[in-house]
Amino acid sequence: MATIDFEGTQVPFEDGDTIASALYRHGVRTFNRSLKYHRRRGLYCGTGDCPNCMVSVDGEPGARSCVTEARDGQVVERGTGWPSPDRDLIGITDKLHWAMPVGFYYKAFVKPRFAWETAERIIRRATGIGRLPLDATPAVKRARSAHTDVLVIGAGPAGLEAARAAAAAGADVIVAEEREVGWTFPPGRELDALRRLADQVRALPNVELREGHTAIGVYEGPTVPLVAEDALVEVEAGRVIVATGAVEAHGVFPGNDLPGVWLGRGAALMAARHGLGIGDRIVVAAETEEGLMHAATLRAAGSQVILLAPTALAERALAGVQVLRDARVLEATGSKHVTGVIVETPEGRKRIVCHALVLSLGWAPRDALLRMGEDLPVEGVGDVVAPVGDPPLGDGGYVCLCEDVGVHELEIAWAEGWTSSEILKRYTTATMGPCQGALCGLHLAAFAAARTDQVAVKGRRTTARPPVRGPRLEDLAGGVHEVIERRTSLHDRHVALGARMDRSGAWMRPGTYGDVAEEIRAVRERVGTMDVGTLGKFLVAGRDAQTLLDRVFPTRLHDLAPGRARYLIALDEGGYVMDDGLICALRDGRYYVTSTSGGADRMEAGLRNWADRWDLHVHLVNQTAELGAINVAGPGARELLGRLSDDDLSRAAIPYPGHAEIMVAGVACRAIAVGFVGELSYELHHPRSRGPELWDALLGAGADLGVAPHGLDALDVLRLEKGHFFLAQDTLPDDHPAKLGLGWAVDMDKPWFVGKASLERMAEIPLERRLVGLRFDGEPQRGMPLEAAGQIVGRVTSCARSEALGAAIGLGWLRARNGGWPTTLRAGATTATVVDRPFYDPEGVRLRG
Residues in the site for another protein, rule: CB under 8 A?
A: 142-147, 219-221, 223, 231, 234, 236, 375, 479-480, 482, 484-489, 491, 507, 539, 541-543, 573-574, 601, 604-605, 608-610, 612-614, 617, 619, 621-627, 687-689, 752, 757-758, 760-761
The residue type of 306 is I
Nearer to another protein, 194 or 616 (CB): 616
- Minimum CB–partner distance for residue 541 and another protein (Å): 5
- Minimum CB–partner distance for residue 495 and another protein (Å): 12
Nearer to another protein, 35 or 146 (CB): 146
Cβ proximity of 460 and 439 under 8 Å? no
Nearer to another protein, 423 or 621 (CB): 621
- Minimum CB–partner distance for residue 734 and another protein (Å): 12
Nearer to another protein, 260 or 755 (CB): 755
Cα separations (Å) of 50 from 64, 266, 385, 387, 575?
9, 11, 20, 22, 58
- Minimum CB–partner distance for residue 690 and another protein (Å): 8
Cβ proximity of 380 and 243 under 8 Å? yes
CA 704 to chain centre: 54
- Minimum CB–partner distance for residue 613 and another protein (Å): 5
What's phi and psi for 412, nearest 5 deg? Answer: -60, -45
Nearer to another protein, 118 or 145 (CB): 145
- Minimum CB–partner distance for residue 412 and another protein (Å): 33
- Minimum CB–partner distance for residue 505 and another protein (Å): 12
The Cα 256–Cα 262 span in angstroms is 9
- Minimum CB–partner distance for residue 37 and another protein (Å): 36
- Minimum CB–partner distance for residue 234 and another protein (Å): 6
From the number of C-beta atoms within 10 Å of its C-beta (0-12, 13-18, 19+), residue 675 rates as: buried
CA atoms within 13 Å, Cβ hemisphere of 508: 16
Nearer to another protein, 543 or 817 (CB): 543
Nearest to 720 by CA among 802, 825, 598: 802
Nearer to another protein, 343 or 499 (CB): 499
- Note the residue count of the chain: 849
The Cα 567–Cα 675 span in angstroms is 10
Nearer to another protein, 416 or 612 (CB): 612
The Cα 441–Cα 461 span in angstroms is 7
Nearer to another protein, 342 or 376 (CB): 376
Nearer to another protein, 180 or 760 (CB): 760
- Minimum CB–partner distance for residue 608 and another protein (Å): 6
The Cα 71–Cα 273 span in angstroms is 17
Give DSSP secondary structure letters for 733-756.
Answer: TT--GGGGT-GGG--TTSS--TTH
Sheet holding 348-353, edge to edge: 328-333, 340-345, 348-353
- Minimum CB–partner distance for residue 135 and another protein (Å): 24
Residues 6+ apart with CB under 8 A from 495: 501
β strands within 550-626, DSSP E? 565-571, 577-585, 591-595, 619-622
Nearer to another protein, 611 or 707 (CB): 611
Cβ proximity of 58 and 74 under 8 Å? yes
CA angle 314/316/320 to nearest 5° reads 85
The neighbour count for residue 547, using CB atoms within 10 Å, is 16
